[in-house]
Structure 1
């Protein structure tokens, strides 16, 4: 049975027991039950809030700044939701994991993107976010002399999902509009302060002490691949092949590409060695490749021979297609396909290749640059790099199976993208592998350890907003970038061997530093989500309450008699629009397909 079934069963059992206890009067007055929701109320803590609220002028200054930030985020959230909903209605995307109901919940193990391995960190971050959010509301209540009826926490069964402060209704009504606005925006302000503190600590002292460990990080092995059969899998780090050191995934690709041996010894980071019998597993095929199609090559095929000659390695494949442009490829299951072997490219409009007559926006296979044979993506890049800008060269290509020659005057990279690079520029986008077919004789999937660390430390973006956006999508990055196979949920599970701690913090040990990094990451991440969510201008969220006070301020200056009715109409219309936009974003991809 699924995990979701057991969770639902537990929720029903908890609800039945809790309501039975409530109906028998067995629960204290401070505990209130409403189905699976439980709220615990208390009046304790008001004296602490009174003491914390003494520097009223300073707190009001911070709160006023928070109101301004909240208004900007509210406007941005409103426009973003509207534009996204319109885009989904106009061009419905294919459903992804984000659109499934369980992935809306921040529950580790239920949400596909929140693994149980970080349950403690997520619960900690959630508690911090809720306590800080509602505590800030309570603090501003006392700063603005608004009485508090009670405070407490809200639980979904035994899981904390919220904290609350109940201001006295009459006292709230007596407060002026500015006081109420600062109080409503206080929770968002506090969450954003936590985001700044946690990510500041994460970006500099913590993540700054973490570096990518040498070797090729293995996120996983393709099913049935040589790596999988030899026992290489997720969490392994390849440090050498046949005694040749490997520092990065690119170096692993280069070593395998140059090594002609059909059997190699792979050394792993923990001292283990694996003997691998290589064979060419197809890991990807471009849809426009001349070798693709119903009777062509497809992912997970094994290229067994070229023109009848057996091939098992990348070097053997390149050598097999070196002479002549058109070759016959045979797979292990007997499928054969004939086509040109070269570099599959898309012709960039208004570029040198386009100016020479190549069809802009279409795909061709380049098999030669001048007298130099080109068999794959890497060969084309090297051939163009060896040329000079403004040099004229003959490009041999295949378009729709026909051989064509183009005399191309190469451009300058500097002129094309504004950099200082004075290299030659052809004007193409190159697909990977041979004619858009990528094959791997080992069959491992790389984990983007360096990419995720640069995003986590802020070095992947030049702006704070860009860094926050990147950090926000890390737990489900594979949805944002389908070319990436793995997400980042912190330094946990099988990705731990891909990183190491250096510098002064290394005395604490890797586990302690990784735990601190995970706590900071998830605390900042959840506070950021909570702040953005509460800025949605819809009741009963803080954004909806701020919208009401802001609308009241504008409507009060208009020459209309029914100001309260107009205010209610505006806020209701915006709230309903936001609910509709959120519904379209969550369920539109599933319902509109």
Structure 2
């Protein structure tokens, strides 16, 4: 990771050196290019006629500008609420899990979660429509556009439409705010359209090739991890027994925990076979709860609970359903011995005194207690057979499908939307061969080669992702972002109504003070996510 970042930084330094040298010697001036700090700026007066042509339905664009202001106002409030909420979570993030500066930069090739070519595609689309919208509304407002162009730093980082600054300042607030609003609003709207296309036309046409369960998570150094299974592996056989569904995996009558089984699975379109240690592994143990107090810890294999050998996940659930809170039950576990390369009994763990499952949920999640809630013994563990979290193929489709029409209220919509934006962090964007080989498009989309279909899906997702990021970032009420200027003009209009007796100089001073203070506060909230976790 750091080697890649160093190479990018060296490439940027070489780019800047070449650009500065070419500018100083006048080699690039004839092409409308010049150095602008570390950037290469290319500008042209061509294309103004196209802007005038696009701006002709002025009534339509004025209505769009009015809608854009409302879109920006709503998203601005949501973004500030999100930043404030994230600030309250900073003290819960370990320093080693804190985001790095590269994650804050939306630059393909620098940000590790943004793929280079899909990222460049999304960035180009976002830049063109953002600045194009600014330019069209500038002309709709009868303001001159001096030039247009692109800004490069190895790759296109931005586009610009340079309006006549004097005309923009003299324009009334309504027209000026429309110019500022349409850029980020267009990014957000285009992003949502891409999500709608993905949901209604593309992902909705996809079906699994097989219904066998898929590995969606792996415990570090667990049996499956050591055997080489990876995210996206589709398990089709265990010890010669066909596994056709997730339910069959859950109830597979495995051998004694700690013994080896043969597993067959598809990965990247290939059928592979390997040996894995059988057993239900503890993937996490909650501190201050029964299992932790009894000495159980993550990485152990459960051998028996309350006298029953635990051969699969279903066995564990059935055993616990036949216990009650306060009951002390015998437990035997195995631990991995690196010296011999196998699991051996752990003699220090003998029994666990359970607590009530109802009492646990009353403490941590009372809202999840419904009429059909079952109360039985609770250990405070998470577990997975072979240390591999598996589920049906449909769970992958549910995760990569945009949250449109699948939510019941605003809160669940926000939660689902954040989850959809976070797909790159889960390894689900861009979708690679380990996942795409498990599914195939149906209907008209089935006429496309499988690889071409998934390139289209990935392209639309990253156009969505980059546009949403550009739009939501630009509506933040911080100058020099579009949202900062929108906030400034909106605040000025409000102060005019509230302080009618104030002079223009006093009003402008008050507006500037509040706008600058809010800009600094927004910057602090962003930097706090980087610095806060490292202060603990």
TM-score, scaled to structure 2: 0.82
| Shift in Å, 1:328 | 4.6
SS in 2 for 1:298: coil
Does residue 548 (structure 1) correspond to residue 493 (structure 2)? The answer is no
Query: How far, CA to CA, are the matches of 2:82 and 2:263 in structure 1?
Result: 49
Using the TM superposition, name which of 125-134 and 23-32 deviates more: 23-32
Is contact 1:218–1:236 with CA below 8 Å preserved after alignment?
yes
SS in 1 for 2:121: helix
- Aligned position for 2:264: 267
Is contact 2:290–2:378 with CA below 8 Å preserved after alignment?
no
Query: How far, CA to CA, are the matches of 1:196 and 1:437 in structure 2?
Result: 36
Query: How far, CA to CA, are the matches of 1:478 and 1:511 in structure 2?
Result: 19
Is contact 2:256–2:303 with CA below 8 Å preserved after alignment?
no
| Shift in Å, 1:207 | 0.9
SS in 1 for 2:107: coil
Is contact 2:305–2:329 with CA below 8 Å preserved after alignment?
no
Using the TM superposition, name which of 162-171 and 470-479 deviates more: 470-479
- Aligned position for 2:202: 206
1:109 and 1:581, CA in 2 relative to 1: closer, same or farther beyond 3 A?
same
Query: How far, CA to CA, are the matches of 1:95 and 1:474 in structure 2?
Result: 25
- Aligned position for 1:532: 472
**By percentage of residues, which structure has more helix?**
2
Which ranges of structure 2 fall in alignment gaps of 5 or more residues?
Answer: 338-344
Query: Residues 423-457 of structure 1, C-alpha deviation per residue, up to 9 Å, x if partnerless?
Result: 5x4457955xxx736363x3434378534422424
- Aligned position for 1:336: 347
| Shift in Å, 1:144 | 0.6
Output aligned runs, 1:73-472, within 5 Å.
73-85=75-87, 87-88=88-89, 91=91, 93-95=93-95, 97=97, 99-114=99-114, 116=115, 119-156=116-153, 158-213=154-209, 214-219=211-216, 222=219, 225-228=222-225, 231-256=228-253, 262=259, 264-269=261-266, 272=271, 274=273, 276=275, 278-280=277-279, 281-292=281-292, 296-302=295-301, 313-314=311-312, 325-333=329-337, 335-340=346-351, 345-348=356-359, 361=363, 417=370, 423=372, 425-427=373-375, 430=378, 436=381, 438=383, 440=385, 442-446=386-390, 450-455=394-399, 456-458=401-403, 460-462=406-408, 466-467=412-413, 470-472=416-418
Give aligned pairs, total: 510
- Aligned position for 1:4: 5
- Aligned position for 1:26: 27
Is contact 2:177–2:486 with CA below 8 Å preserved after alignment?
yes
SS in 2 for 1:25: coil
Query: How far, CA to CA, are the matches of 2:227 and 2:530 in structure 1?
Result: 42
Which ranges of structure 1 fall in alignment gaps of 5 or more residues?
Answer: 352-359, 363-412, 480-485
| Shift in Å, 1:292 | 3.5
Which structure: larger Rg?
A: 1
1:40 and 1:203, CA in 2 relative to 1: closer, same or farther beyond 3 A?
same
Query: How far, CA to CA, are the matches of 1:316 and 1:574 in structure 2?
Result: 54
SS in 1 for 2:532: helix
Query: How far, CA to CA, are the matches of 2:247 and 2:83 in structure 1?
Result: 39
Query: How far, CA to CA, are the matches of 1:428 and 1:302 in structure 2?
Result: 22
RMSD: 3.8
Is contact 1:330–1:337 with CA below 8 Å preserved after alignment?
no
SS in 2 for 1:199: helix
Query: How far, CA to CA, are the matches of 1:283 and 1:415 in structure 2?
Result: 23
SS in 1 for 2:428: coil
SS in 2 for 1:296: coil
Query: How far, CA to CA, are the matches of 2:199 and 2:238 in structure 1?
Result: 34
Match of 1:48 among 42, 47, 50: 50
Query: Residues 209-256 of structure 1, C-alpha deviation per residue, up to 9 Å, x if partnerless?
Result: 123442121246556555456554344211233454434444312225
1:53 and 1:466, CA in 2 relative to 1: closer, same or farther beyond 3 A?
farther
1:183 and 1:584, CA in 2 relative to 1: closer, same or farther beyond 3 A?
same
- Aligned position for 1:577: 521
TM-score, scaled to structure 1: 0.75
